[in-house]
Structure 1
């Protein structure tokens, strides 16, 4: 991380992640950016290369996760009032540092077990099949509203244990949290979103309280049982905060990953046909999507001491924007990084889920869901095509990237038969 040579003068770049051209396609811009520079419009230092970002993730002492979920821009007084006096919430995993992070992650790993993820897969597959079989034939449809958005919501809400009848209400409350913490909303938008966030928090508070008295077979109840073993190690308030954060993080990122995967595969019809013929290629195809078009294009850290990165001095207390999308296409790491290739033997050399102590706890869940979606799409709806000449739009924010809509057309094909269904 530190350099023995004399530190370089701070580089500056006219970098605006809210620029429409960047939102539409960030990769040409990323390829031209310096390794390290200061972005005055964001009041952040920006890192673009794999080795530097990897080193940041591996050093949580120097690079605190404390700002990971903070709003990029200051909140208005109205938004603060709408959130209420008990915000900010207790830190959970993505925005906590050791030792609190170590304690909370240990308990979450116990609850977020391989058994629970495996038990969820049949329900995800059943829901995916139902949604795919409802896709129209011969007329355009939006994959996001038909599959990419509702399936992750079903998955994460089922994992948590939220009642299915509450799904639409919960989705309406958490729909704009991305803009609140990672976007550039107006003061009026901040206040409106904050009011919904408050309602969502109160719902999670009541839900966890209910599980405290009546635990079930779900992730929340697993955390409640851990709390009962030792209330001082994991508080009820921390459980509520975990559920509040997970319900957004586990939904938005997987929605985008699903849409990005289908888009990139259909842009390369030969590779889509290869998956239809050889489903064993699907896991590596998921890794290539994570590398080539990650759903989390950037994450944040703050320095705890002065540090030198790539020969550039950065002071203590500096906010860092880690451009994961640039790191995943770093030519120093990957040959022909701009080429989409599901056959790569190094497709998993990406930072889409972070690295080190903050490696995404939900990575197995996200990989499972996208794998299931691709297995079912290639089997039940192989004759998919992108609607030509569509203009994709992406929500304006610094971290999450996926199209608002993705229009496809399903051509008629032979009736799918499932041996299990015919037995």
Structure 2
């Protein structure tokens, strides 16, 4: 019935949840000939897939969902030399490389970033405090995570705008249906971004400093077999994208939901102790990683459906997070919800997001400062909120807020 399911359909991008609810109820696991993938919708099934890496490999997570044009593939082949390292890599290599990433995101190291994050948020709010209207994505939820992760990596602040420009539309390139001309343009940007990362890692190899990249370099210098320069470059490249796009999307969506349910926004303004629960409900309700992928290593039964070896799975995390078998009244946004943290937004198992503590801290500080300094915020009425056109990451392109009550 749903074999022609299209994650890029206009109605699905605008509001996927009614469509996902119907699929989850009628055909929770099925083969889509249109996608040549097996969409999986239920929380229990997706959690199992995330935690069984031997049966469900992550090898295809970074492979473009839709075929690339030949010219774009040629451009990438000539100058974009990524290799599997973390999300699209399985043990034993994954175990070795991930261990060094996790160290960089330890609770101690993340806690040290708190004053820096708060200073950036304060500066951003200072710029918009007396504006009647502004786009919160452009002003806060996009620049903050990008700035923080670039600083963590060690990229010079003077390069940040250039790097953001090179990263634009990568979501559409890997997880969308771009035109041939768009693919060629984005592929050239990808090559430039890769070259920048390569040269940056080489500079840290020559002169390590106090940043995440230099920590990886020191590991390499102590034991080249433990972590190669090529692996470090791949980690830096992947983190510089994944470390901010996901937080941008979920932060923007969370603010949108809170202001849509304004009585809950007002509760946060009155009692900031509720913010951690609001964050978990925001992560559940609007996961930025809306879908993810795996490939089966052997024949397996998923939700009672027999799936062959080599089957490409489309894990509909947005559906899992709204599964009534796990979350009562799932379509209600409720910051008082018990058990919201059971969401699958950060994955599970060996591939779970090691940047989750940083994302939570950034969202915590954003909400603390916005509710304290701009409690009168409202959504601009009658705006047509558009979402990024891709099959994986979900979040508003723009979100206009009304601050006129402040004046």
Structure 2-normalised TM-score?
0.97
Superposed CA offset, 1:291-332 (max 9, x none)? 011111100000111111112111111110000000001000
| Residue 401 of structure 1: aligned partner | 394
Q: Structure 2 CA distance, aligned partners of 1:332 and 1:88?
A: 43
Q: Structure 2 CA distance, aligned partners of 1:173 and 1:340?
A: 35
Give the alignment partner of residue 277 of structure 1, picking from 270, 293, 301: 270
Native 8 Å contact 2:64 2:173 kept in 1: yes
Deviation at 1:136, TM superposition (A): 4.9
| Larger helix share, 1 or 2 | 2
| Residue 420 of structure 1: aligned partner | none
Q: Which runs of 5+ in 2 are unaligned?
A: none
Native 8 Å contact 1:112 1:219 kept in 2: no
| Residue 101 of structure 2: aligned partner | 108
| Residue 84 of structure 1: aligned partner | 77
Native 8 Å contact 1:138 1:412 kept in 2: no
| Residue 328 of structure 2: aligned partner | 335
Q: Structure 2 CA distance, aligned partners of 1:199 and 1:86?
A: 8
Native 8 Å contact 1:133 1:380 kept in 2: no
Native 8 Å contact 1:111 1:223 kept in 2: no
| Residue 183 of structure 1: aligned partner | 176
Deviation at 1:372, TM superposition (A): 0.6
Give the alignment partner of residue 10 of structure 2, picking from 17, 20, 27: 20
Instruction: Indicate yes or no: 2:353 matched with 1:360.
Output: yes
| Residue 195 of structure 1: aligned partner | 188
Q: How many residues align?
A: 404
Superposed CA offset, 1:128-151 (max 9, x none)? 011112115362211111111111
Range moving further from structure 2, 345-354 or 180-189:
180-189
Native 8 Å contact 2:79 2:191 kept in 1: no
| Residue 417 of structure 1: aligned partner | none
Instruction: Indicate yes or no: 2:44 matched with 1:54.
Output: no
Deviation at 1:12, TM superposition (A): 4.7
Instruction: Indicate yes or no: 2:180 matched with 1:204.
Output: no
Instruction: Indicate yes or no: 2:25 matched with 1:35.
Output: no
Q: Residue 295 of structure 2: SS of its match in structure 1?
A: strand
| Residue 158 of structure 2: aligned partner | 165
Native 8 Å contact 1:141 1:408 kept in 2: yes
- Superposed CA RMSD: 1.3
Q: Structure 2 CA distance, aligned partners of 1:234 and 1:214?
A: 17
Q: Structure 2 CA distance, aligned partners of 1:91 and 1:114?
A: 26
| Residue 302 of structure 2: aligned partner | 309
Q: Structure 2 CA distance, aligned partners of 1:178 and 1:260?
A: 17
Q: Which runs of 5+ in 1 are unaligned?
A: 1-10, 415-423
| Residue 369 of structure 2: aligned partner | 376
Call closer, same or farther: CA 1:86–1:63 in 2, change over 3 Å. farther
Range moving further from structure 2, 161-170 or 12-21:
12-21
Deviation at 1:88, TM superposition (A): 4.9
Deviation at 1:216, TM superposition (A): 1.2
Q: Structure 2 CA distance, aligned partners of 1:37 and 1:278?
A: 45
| Residue 91 of structure 2: aligned partner | 98
Native 8 Å contact 1:36 1:45 kept in 2: yes
Deviation at 1:83, TM superposition (A): 1.4
Q: Structure 1 CA distance, aligned partners of 2:83 and 2:60?
A: 13
